[in-house]
Chains A and B, each alone.
Chain A
């Protein structure tokens, strides 16, 4: 048959993006210029909750250089509120205007936009806008807010935006039959994404054509385009959304933000390009945040550690609004969807309440819910192991879904296409020299030191197809992506996608997939993405889906082009297509290498047509294909963290970190390792450093990067990552998603390592992050 250039898929090639990003030639939104552009500064609420009275813009308007001062009333005729609908029963949507009118519901919510010739002037003038605020009591405690008012959205008559329950098997009998029940209340505090590039957008309205172009730091240009068509009442083909180089997203940039709507509406109103470059303060105040759950969970096991039942009640503080497109269910429901982990859980009840408060809204962030579920279930397993005097590795071994049980429907209904969980654990233990670590621990303990080893195993669903919406009940399509592969008459290949990149290296990895499948040279393939005007329809990059879904579409489109190229080549070479090989841009007759044509010659024939094409064959050499993996595929891993506690200063020292993961067929080991370790760093931050803190009045206390701590280079341990490389049987290309896993496993592994280190003192970690202050308190009561 036909040989491709398969070695390209799996090759450790350096990234094509790097040349521009390393030389300062990247083009991020802030770097873009538009002739005549004006700058927006938003007037933001200092209060967590307030009635917005009169807004006085006269002084601001008088400032030289100010072009306009707009409030909700000015934008209302141009833009509908953002509203995230869901089919989920009992779900309550919230309206979010481009600018707040009447009421503000979290600190930082914008009530006016000042437009000026420069950003300096716009910010000056924003300070001159007078707003009659009438502060309202702030809702900040989700438990109290779930039970009674005041209500964040008075019209809803409740703060509970969503309730959901999963139930499998006979839960109560399982607990009655148990030899041991372990239970705890787990608390995972609020987290911020902190992409190094703040959110920004630039809207230009072409008055001649009636076209809107929005450059945005978004991860989901396709979804933003579709949503703006409704909100701005414009035909979709009049809107172009472009995500240029984007400086990190991690899920936080998968939301339609009010600033994007405001800037687009203002550009339309003023007929001038409008630019908003958010600063870090705005990011910390208004970008979507993550987690913030309290979980009451119980695990029932028999005398040898087999899981009999699991039950959990989750309270999730989802902040002030249910954001488009995911809704407030995304984080909350995901926790109960993934609590059963990679284990056989015969009886399960997971219930969640998503509660609105006067804080920045909750959104999807790397791992989405699963870092919390892993923290809880892995913590419970370790507690059970300790009580039963089992090794933590052993209790996992006894409960993993076995490879021969796959496809396996988990207790929450998620289907695992494969189950390489035990293999991940064994591999991680081998890399870490687990037995050796245990001996080291004994020596350390004998010497009075607190040395701990923590294991966390997890499984996530990646490349989620149309069978399960990425966000339960949300009215959006997240299961498909397209790819267009085109060979031009010069023989070079352009592959166009609707996904967008925030640093994942898709221009490289998708080029590897296309070149490898098509038989082209890697350098001849250019990937274009992040521009709704450029290619096929799709939604964007999120939920560890790009390698799987866009990668699958790339395989299909490249195969279609390759097959046509072979038909044309066969005609030119007077050979049979089945006798041809294609590699490195050359098609040759197998066994007669001198009978060959280049892809360029084939492409020229494809467009020149005439007698150079087989009779009746349509000219051209391009294909657009779509892909829906339907269920998606399981990505699993085991993490092992090694810590030592410096009790004198209440500090956790991360000594070493090991990950063995199964991301299916690896496209580029360099990129996979980068994704895994980058995700791990965010998990380390979540475990030890990062916490968004609001006071009881809803005032953000972590409004700078001095207060909100992300890991520095000195916070990271030596790391070893190994890939199992077990191609997924259920996705085209065999790829599995790998973007989030690092963040899922790390908080659990580190929490377990700290509990293990402090086990002689009877301390078990229930709250993340383990800040020095929390650790000090725990040590103080011993």
Chain B
């Protein structure tokens, strides 16, 4: 064990400071030290995407990063998506189109889809499939997820124009 280090980062707009071992994974820091258990761990080797969060606006796997590497970063997790009890349109679309069953992949899937829609606000179905292929879902067969992202894209684009 090596000496703990201080990690300062912002999660969902709230500044956090914590001390942890340099080897601590970002996902463990988020889950254990910050108590934000919405971000999940499905493999710890970078394949399943359940641990995906936004780091400075871009989707990244928090199991492949150390907490110290995220020092100073702005992080967004699933807990920050809904505002004041109102679901984000993407969350709403997942509910409407049955884009989740067990919900375990869902936080990573939502953050990945959010990143996709930021980069490509009007994706084709093929682009959606390509975009979310970074996250494994074992329950849904992706059918409802693809439909949800398509639907969310329709809602989100006009909203942005206003």
Nearest-Cβ distance from residue A111 to partner chain B, whole angstroms? 23
- The CA of A729 and the CA of B93, in the complex, are separated in Å by 37
> Bound state CA distance, A197 and B37, in angstroms?
13
Q: Is the CB of A28 within 8 A of B140?
A: no
Contact A21 B100 (CB under 8 A): yes
A670 to B96, CA, bound (A): 9
- Are A503 and B103 closer than 8 Å at their CB atoms? yes
In the complex the two chains form, what is the Cα distance from A400 to B94 in whole Å?
40
Q: Among the interface residues B96, B106, B107, B143, which one has the most CB atoms of the partner chain A within 10 A?
A: B143
Q: Does A673 contact B (CB under 8 A)?
A: yes
**What residues of chain A lie closer than 8 Å to B77, measured between beta carbons?**
24
* Residue-wise interface mask of A (491-511) relative to B, using a CB-CB cutoff of 8 A (1 in contact, 0 not): 000000000001111000000
B133 touches A713 (CB 8 A): yes
Would you give the shortest CB distance from B147 to chain A, in whole angstroms?
A: 11
Contact flag A30-B41 (CB < 8 Å), given A22-B95, A22-B106, A704-B47: yes
Residue of B nearest to A247 (CB): B104
Instruction: Determine whether the beta carbon of A714 is less than 8 Å from that of B141.
Output: no
Within 8 A of B (CB), among A80-131: 120-121, 124
Residues from chain B with Cβ under 8 Å of A670 in the complex: 98
B100–A706 touching, CB < 8 Å: no
A23 touches B82 (CB 8 A): yes
Q: Annotate A704-740 by CB proximity to B: 1 below 8 A, 0 otherwise.
A: 1110001111101001000000000000000000000
Contact among A19, A120, A250, A671 with B98 in the assembled complex (CB-CB below 8 Å): A671
- B65: chain A residues within 8 A (beta carbon): none
Asked whether any CB of chain A lies closer than 8 Å to the CB of B74, the reply is no
Stretch at the interface among A157-165, A176-184, A296-304, A677-685: A677-685
Known: A705-B48, A713-B132. Is A25-B38 also a contact (CB below 8 A)? Answer: yes
Q: How far is the CA of A18 from the CA of B110 in the complex (A)?
A: 13
Contact with A along B101-116 (1 / 0, CB 8 A): 1111111001000000
- The residues in A between 197 and 211 inclusive whose CB is less than 8 angstroms from any CB of B are 197-198
Question: Residue B129 at the A interface, CB < 8 A?
Answer: yes
Return the CB mask of B38-69 against A: 1 if under 8 Å, else 0. 11111111011010000000000000000000
Q: Is the CB of B142 within 8 A of A681?
A: yes
**Candidates B45, B91, B105; contact of A23 at CB < 8 Å:** B91
**Residues of the A chain whose Cβ atoms lie less than 8 Å from the Cβ of B5:** none
Identify which of residues 1-47 in chain A touch chain B, using a CB-to-CB cut-off of 8 Å.
14-15, 17-28, 30-31
Contacts of B146 in A (CB 8 A): 713
B133: which A residues are within 8 A, CB to CB? 712-714
Q: How far is the CB of B87 from chain A (nearest CB, A)?
A: 6
Asked if A196 is an interface residue, CB under 8 A from chain B, the answer is yes
Chain A's closest residue to B133 (CB) is A712
**Contact present for A121 and B1 (CB under 8 Å):** yes
B98/A246 in contact, CB under 8 A: no
Determine if B70 is an interface residue (Cβ-Cβ < 8 Å): no
Query: In the complex, which residue of chain B has the Cβ closest to the Cβ of A706?
Result: B47
Complex Cα distance, B106 from A31, in Å, reads 15
Query: Which residue on B lies nearest to A505, using beta carbons?
Result: B101
Say yes or no: B45 contacts A280, CB within 8 Å.
yes
CB contacts (< 8 Å) of B78 on chain A: these are 22-24
A502 touches B141 (CB 8 A): no
- B interface bracket (residues with beta carbon within 8 Å of A): 35 or more
A713 to B144, CA, bound (A): 11
Which residue of A24, A198, A684, A716 contacts B107 across the interface (Cβ within 8 Å)?
A24
Are A22 and B45 neighbours in the complex by a CB distance under 8 Å? no
Q: Do A14 and B104 touch (CB < 8 A)? A: no
Contact mask B133-149 → A, CB, 8 Å, 1/0?
A: 10011111111111000
Contacts of A751 in B (CB 8 A): none
CB pair B36 A674 closer than 8 Å: no
B44: shortest Cβ distance to chain A, in Å? 6
A533 within 8 A of B: no
A247 to B48, CA, bound (A): 13
List the A residue with the shortest CB-CB distance to B47: A705
Report B-chain residues with C-beta under 8 Å of the C-beta of A505.
101
Which A residues are in CB contact (< 8 Å) with B17?
none
B38 touches A24 (CB 8 A): yes
Interface residue A363 (Cβ < 8 Å from any Cβ of B): no
Instruction: Choose among B42, B44, B130, B136 the residue with the greatest number of A CB atoms under 10 Å from its CB.
Output: B42
Tell which of A121, A280, A674 touches B44, judged by Cβ atoms closer than 8 Å: A280
Whole-angstrom distance between the Cβ of B38 and the nearest chain A Cβ: 2
Is A22 in contact with B36, judged by CB distance below 8 angstroms? no
Q: Which residues of B contact A280 (CB under 8 A)?
A: 42-45, 48
A628 close to B (CB within 8 Å): no
Give the docked Cα–Cα distance between A359 and B101 (Å).
Answer: 31
Residues of the B chain whose Cβ atoms lie less than 8 Å from the Cβ of A20: 103
Query: In the complex, what residues of B have CB within 8 A of residue A17's CB?
Result: 103
Cβ contacts under 8 Å, B81 to chain A: 22-24
Given the interface contacts A24-B38, A705-B45, A705-B47, does A248 sit within 8 Å of B94 by beta carbon? Answer: no
Closest Cβ–Cβ distance, residue A508 to chain B (whole Å): 10
Cβ-defined contact, B140 with A279, below 8 A? no
Instruction: Note all chain A residues with C-beta closer than 8 A to B128.
Output: 713
CB distance from A574 to the nearest CB of B (A): 44
Say how far B97's CB is from chain A's closest CB, in angstroms: 8
Q: Which residues of B contact A21 (CB under 8 A)?
A: 100, 102-103, 106
Of A64, A502, A705, A742, the residue contacting B1 (CB under 8 A) is A64
Known contacts A24-B38, A681-B142, A719-B143; A120 and B103 CB within 8 A of each other: no
Q: Bound complex: CA of A480 vs CA of B91, how far in Å?
A: 37
Of listed A17, A22, A25, residue having the most chain B CB within 10 A? A22
Asked whether any CB of chain B lies closer than 8 Å to the CB of A378, the reply is: no
Question: How far in angstroms is the closest Cβ of chain B from A720?
Answer: 10
CB <8 Å contact, A196 and B104: yes
Is A195 located at the chain interface by the 8 A CB criterion?
A: yes
Residues in A with CB closer than 8 Å to B42 are 196-198, 247, 280
* Of the residues B31, B96, B104, B140, contact of A681 by C-beta under 8 Å: B140
Are A247 and B40 in contact, CB atoms less than 8 angstroms apart?
yes
Does B118 count as interface, using CB distance less than 8 angstroms? no
Give chain B residues whose Cβ lies under 8 Å from the Cβ of A710: 136, 138
A121 to B144, alpha carbons, bound, how many Å? 41
Bound complex: CA A679 to CA B129 (Å): 19
User: B residues within 8 A CB of A719?
Assistant: 141, 143
Residue B24 CB within 8 A of the other chain: yes
Residue of A nearest to B134 (CB): A712
- A673, B147: Cα distance in complex, Å: 13
The reply to whether B98 and A15 contact each other, CB–CB distance below 8 Å, is: yes
Contact of A196 among B24, B31, B45, B105 (CB under 8 A): B105
Judged by a CB distance under 8 angstroms, whether A293 is at the interface is no
Q: How far is the CA of A31 from the CA of B78 in the complex (A)?
A: 15
User: Nearest-CB distance from B70 to chain A (Å)?
Assistant: 18
User: What sequence of 0s and 1s flags, for each residue 74-94 of chain B, a beta carbon within 8 Å of any chain A beta carbon?
Assistant: 000111011000010001001
* Selected A-B contacts with CB under 8 Å, 28 pairs: A20-B103, A21-B100, A21-B106, A23-B79, A24-B38, A24-B77, A24-B79, A24-B81, A25-B38, A25-B79, A30-B37, A30-B41, A121-B1, A194-B138, A195-B102, A196-B136, A196-B137, A197-B40, A197-B102, A248-B101, A505-B101, A674-B98, A680-B141, A681-B138, A705-B45, A712-B133, A712-B136, A742-B141
Given contacts A196-B48, A711-B142, 13 further A-B contacts (CB under 8 A): A23-B78, A23-B79, A30-B40, A31-B31, A195-B102, A196-B139, A247-B104, A277-B41, A503-B104, A670-B98, A705-B47, A705-B48, A712-B136
The 6 residue pairs across chains A and B that have the minimum distance between CB atoms: A24-B38, A503-B102, A247-B104, A21-B103, A681-B141, A503-B101
